Structure 1
């Protein structure tokens, strides 16, 4: 009987080779399938947030940041106004700054009143002074103020037009020859002046000031009147 040595060895090696090739093919397919479960080229670090979480976080507003407020509209511009009462007996001046106003009423002889208060965004104002004095006014298109002034138990209608310097409202306080002096002046748009000076509380007609410098001489002493703002 012949020995099948070489032929049998060859057949056994061929079978083993086919088995190994089949095993490698199966393993490679499985590994490739597992690898493709992640997007090609994606690099995911351990603990990194998902894309949906990152998008939500970026869309959310930053904590503690408030929306920027819209600019205020209708605010009244800073300006000065001066004019006369309807009966032409007295003068009225109003200075407006930052939503506040101060007004001066005087007849150029012995009646005067300082009043102050707020100006609303629509231009209306209710200013109050001593002894129950009240000025009710309305700003018209930024060009004038008209209204009424109740001073010393009497009511006056008035109109005050917008002014440019040196027209406007001035005041000076000082001690002159031992007396406390407090003076108020209204320089009207036409250049005329109306003012009252109190000496220790006693009122009288005020001498004219130099509207360019505010200089005025009272009882032989030179003092300076300054523009009045709220």
Structure 2
């Protein structure tokens, strides 16, 4: 019995020490180890959403090209009205239209306005009007003046044919003359002297020279707006 006593005491001590070591290891493992070292079961980390790139500025719409202006009309038409009895000439320079209708005796009317997009629109004194169309080498329309109406379809002409006009003061009298020169060389015109109309004397188409009441005048081709109707 005396021999076993110390041995039992030693074994008991070893057993107690083993228990204490085991308990200590268990506590350390529970307190220091990451319970989820691989991140399983952990809520996924929420990353801040990437800022969306601002929408690309849409390319500014290209400015629509400026409308190309239509070419301005330059033309002259002349001939007799439908049914005869009067002659008409229409001269257009850069879209500005001047028309003259006369009977070669005393009836006449001057008009001015525009020629554009195939249309003629002119006005004159005392409500006179000319409306019409042009194209294909001719002009067609209607003149209304002094309670009368003339219709016409006339062809394009070239110099020396066309419309001529002269204005002057002769012995204190106001003189205004209009002439239409036709392709066959014939002329029709009226001269007013202080508002009294009379048949116009012939002009020289090459120079425009003409004599009115003994005074030498020059008739010019009409190539722009009238200074007075």
Which runs of structure 1 show a deviation greater than 6 angstroms over 4 or more consecutive aligned residues?
A: none
Whole-angstrom CA distance in 1 between matches of 2:116 and 2:191: 31
Shift of 1:66: 5.5
Shift of 1:149: 0.9
- Specify which of 165, 187, 191 is matched with residue 159 of structure 2: 165
More helix by share: 1
Whole-angstrom CA distance in 2 between matches of 1:99 and 1:219: 35
Whole-angstrom CA distance in 2 between matches of 1:206 and 1:66: 57
Whole-angstrom CA distance in 1 between matches of 2:83 and 2:177: 24
Whole-angstrom CA distance in 2 between matches of 1:152 and 1:205: 19
Whole-angstrom CA distance in 1 between matches of 2:161 and 2:155: 10
In structure 1, the partner of 2:26 is none
Shift of 1:68: 4.3
In structure 2, the partner of 1:97 is 93
Offset from partner CA, 1:119-162 (integer Å, 9 cap, x none): 231x1112110111111111022x01011111221111112211
In structure 2, the partner of 1:133 is 128
Task: Provide the aligned C-alpha RMSD in A.
Answer: 2.3
Matches for 1:209-228 after TM superposition, within 5 Å = 209-228=203-222
- Specify which of 104, 109, 114 is matched with residue 113 of structure 1: 109
- Specify which of 181, 196, 213 is matched with residue 175 of structure 2: 181
Equivalent position SS for 2:126: helix
In structure 2, the partner of 1:69 is 66
Equivalent position SS for 1:172: strand
Unaligned runs of 5+ in 1: 1-55
- Specify which of 83, 88, 107 is matched with residue 84 of structure 2: 88
Q: Under a length normalisation based on structure 1, what TM-score does the superposition of the two structures give?
A: 0.68
Shift of 1:172: 0.4
Unaligned runs of 5+ in 2: 1-55, 225-229
Shift of 1:97: 1.9
For this pair of structures, how many residues does the alignment match?
171
Whole-angstrom CA distance in 1 between matches of 2:155 and 2:184: 11
Equivalent position SS for 1:86: coil
- Structure 2 residue 150 is the aligned partner of structure 1 residue 150: no
Shift of 1:77: 2.9
In structure 2, the partner of 1:22 is none
Shift of 1:60: 6.2
Q: Is the contact made by 2:202 and 2:210 (CA closer than 8 Å) also made in structure 1? A: yes
